[in-house]
Structure 1
């Protein structure tokens, strides 16, 4: 099997080093007719790796004979619906392209549904092609991720009682589209949650809008230092608050009345997880949060935070006392967390083991270097994310969050 160094591209720390600029996509119609401006090139952060991020090797040959990739079946009993929303925040300009006078977002909403219908796509072919190109993967069909079989049904009728469903907001990693957290989203929806996954425009290598426009990643073009990611985390916090406003208000989504506004949480992968701390510090409606393998930018949170929070990561990067710069960011944030908190590590994981990309890569015959198999990493991630949310949004006791579980020996409980 060909070895794929996928995980090396996606930690916040490694992304601060020089990286290849993604190929241009169809420019947004509202942008000026000139190249997207590069961000300033500040000096490299002293506590972060200085070497260039390696390109991904190409698989030896296309894997055209393999069946289409697929997401794992949800563990809950409910049918899952999903709808896509194109939201516009006219109260602020885009933080990355100030000439765009509003913040446009694409949001997927997964939810319990009454019946099945047309199976939803995973992502568009253009998004798939740009995501694979950014990773340097050319030995598989460029649109292969768009063929991924999901378990959700497009625009199915929502099911639930008024104010009966908790809301969970998901934020993907830097450069990654919202689709990469679909397995978590589908699973939570099957168990009675409404889940909103956000594409943070100009931070993903590809976001396609309903009119066909495709935006690419602006801060990916050039070197980055911690201030870039502090800016991104705070911008994502504003995105999250706006999405909560719209989903719980009238006229945006037909299932809005089903959402219990008093039970809102946030989870995210990589920068998306770290952004949860920024969002919770800004928005008191978010009762609990999870950072999944995400290095925390400086000064986030900037004050003590008493609401529940969980770190879930890999030992190679986040073992307390290791002296690694990534670990130090968790240790610093840990001191600010004054309420219920946990620090869990998944043995054998790589960075993409926690989202869909690692397991899907394995289905395509690509080796990410993870020791934990893709189906198992999906199972572990969904189990612990679900347990955390059931505890803090539904007040259901979760012993596996209090002590090691014989059924989940890969998960280690640690205390800094």
Structure 2
């Protein structure tokens, strides 16, 4: 077992890489990547630190083999909404910024209002021809949305990964589906631990369905992702409830090679075998999670447990960058006293180093 407590200061080493290092890119990201200026009052997470510019696209799909257990519609099938961040070459012309999130998602996360939130991603961009990239699947926490982690996911894309994040109907804060359908969080999952535990396999299955969908799209030359996915190098990560799903999906699915869990209590069977590389990351302000300890004791292979000192559960999200001050104050201990910029740099570097070690680069 590797145990590392990460203080909010530079110079900490993990996996042989300095935690606070940034890519040696001379020009500011927005200028190098030909993004238009954002509104002066817009909120924004720090720019990605990798060498690649980032594009963003959204997709939805239905899995005809899976019933939707939470729907009241007869014979409803499970549908998922994907947000994909991906590496692009430095563009030759300016492209519009992709939206940070749909208005419905911003409203659900209490980030809506007069102040805008801007992304660092380009809309309508394509990937370099004849180039493949390793893939990362991401699952958000219960009652959150995938875009609420853009600060981490854009950065991973800038390091050369295709990052495919899932909004899970009835489990994410909202899931926007075709035809103007907006599926909110099912409140009972926040109120009943047994029902929440019963939903855990559904999210694991969502990750595996997404892998099936990616395999199909990779065979379609006309698709944005077609031919660009190196499906021999896939990892998974998630926060909270999604972090648990990332670990369990990686244990079950041979296509997944490594997983990172950001401050998530691990649901389901915790006994061995756990053999694939994994990173367990915890918030320093929370008590040590017994499920992480149990999984660590049952693991037989390469893994690491880290604590981000002075951090709360939501310091793994974009919350302190995009939420209004009164909302942050009302959330209390969900946020810690850790400096948001240092915390983001440490998490970006540690996740980038972990996945580079076990998946390699582009």
User: CA-to-partner distance for each residue in 1:5-53, whole Å, 9 max, x for gaps?
Assistant: xxxxxxxxxxxxxxxxxxxxxxxxxxxxxxxxxxxxxxxxxxxxxxxxx
Aligned ranges 1:22-61 → 2 under 5 Å: none
Alpha-carbon contact 1:112-1:160 (below 8 Å) kept:
no
Unmatched tracts of structure 2, length 5 or more? 1-38
Alpha-carbon contact 2:84-2:165 (below 8 Å) kept:
yes
Q: 1:363 to 1:186 in 2, by over 3 A?
A: farther
Alpha-carbon contact 1:237-1:282 (below 8 Å) kept:
no
1:234 alignment partner, SS class? helix
Which position in structure 2 is the counterpart of 1:371?
Answer: 337
Deviation at 1:113, TM superposition (A): 1.5
Give the alignment partner of residue 230 of structure 1, picking from 193, 197, 203: 197
Which position in structure 1 is the counterpart of 2:173?
Answer: 205
Deviation at 1:110, TM superposition (A): 0.8
Alpha-carbon contact 1:69-1:364 (below 8 Å) kept:
no
Distance 2:212 2:255 in 1: 10
Distance 1:222 1:238 in 2: 20
Give the alignment partner of residue 251 of structure 2, picking from 276, 281, 291: 281
1:255 matched to 2:233? The reply is no
Distance 1:152 1:165 in 2: 17
Which position in structure 2 is the counterpart of 1:124?
Answer: 102
Deviation at 1:236, TM superposition (A): 1.2
1:329 alignment partner, SS class? helix
Alpha-carbon contact 1:128-1:144 (below 8 Å) kept:
no
Deviation at 1:129, TM superposition (A): 1.7
Give the alignment partner of residue 67 of structure 1, picking from 41, 44, 47: 41
Distance 1:362 1:339 in 2: 43
Q: 1:266 to 1:375 in 2, by over 3 A?
A: same
Deviation at 1:332, TM superposition (A): 1.4
Distance 2:326 2:151 in 1: 17
Which position in structure 1 is the counterpart of 2:298?
Answer: 336
Q: How much is the aligned-residue C-alpha RMSD, in angstroms?
A: 2.5
Alpha-carbon contact 1:82-1:120 (below 8 Å) kept:
yes
Distance 2:190 2:163 in 1: 33
Q: 1:150 to 1:311 in 2, by over 3 A?
A: same
Distance 1:362 1:384 in 2: 28
Deviation at 1:360, TM superposition (A): 2.4
Alpha-carbon contact 1:360-1:374 (below 8 Å) kept:
no
Which position in structure 2 is the counterpart of 1:109?
Answer: 84
Give the alignment partner of residue 97 of structure 1, picking from 71, 83, 86: 71
Q: 1:388 to 1:98 in 2, by over 3 A?
A: farther
Q: 1:340 to 1:156 in 2, by over 3 A?
A: same
Q: 1:342 to 1:144 in 2, by over 3 A?
A: farther
Which position in structure 2 is the counterpart of 1:353?
Answer: 315
Aligned ranges 1:241-252 → 2 under 5 Å: 241-249=208-216, 250-251=219-220
Q: Provide TM-score, normalisation by structure 2.
A: 0.80
User: CA-to-partner distance for each residue in 1:81-109, whole Å, 9 max, x for gaps?
Assistant: 11100111111111322645211111011
Which position in structure 2 is the counterpart of 1:86?
Answer: 60
Deviation at 1:333, TM superposition (A): 1.5
Which position in structure 2 is the counterpart of 1:56?
Answer: none
Alpha-carbon contact 1:248-1:256 (below 8 Å) kept:
no
Alpha-carbon contact 2:281-2:305 (below 8 Å) kept:
yes
Alpha-carbon contact 2:277-2:303 (below 8 Å) kept:
yes
1:248 alignment partner, SS class? helix
Which position in structure 2 is the counterpart of 1:183?
Answer: 151
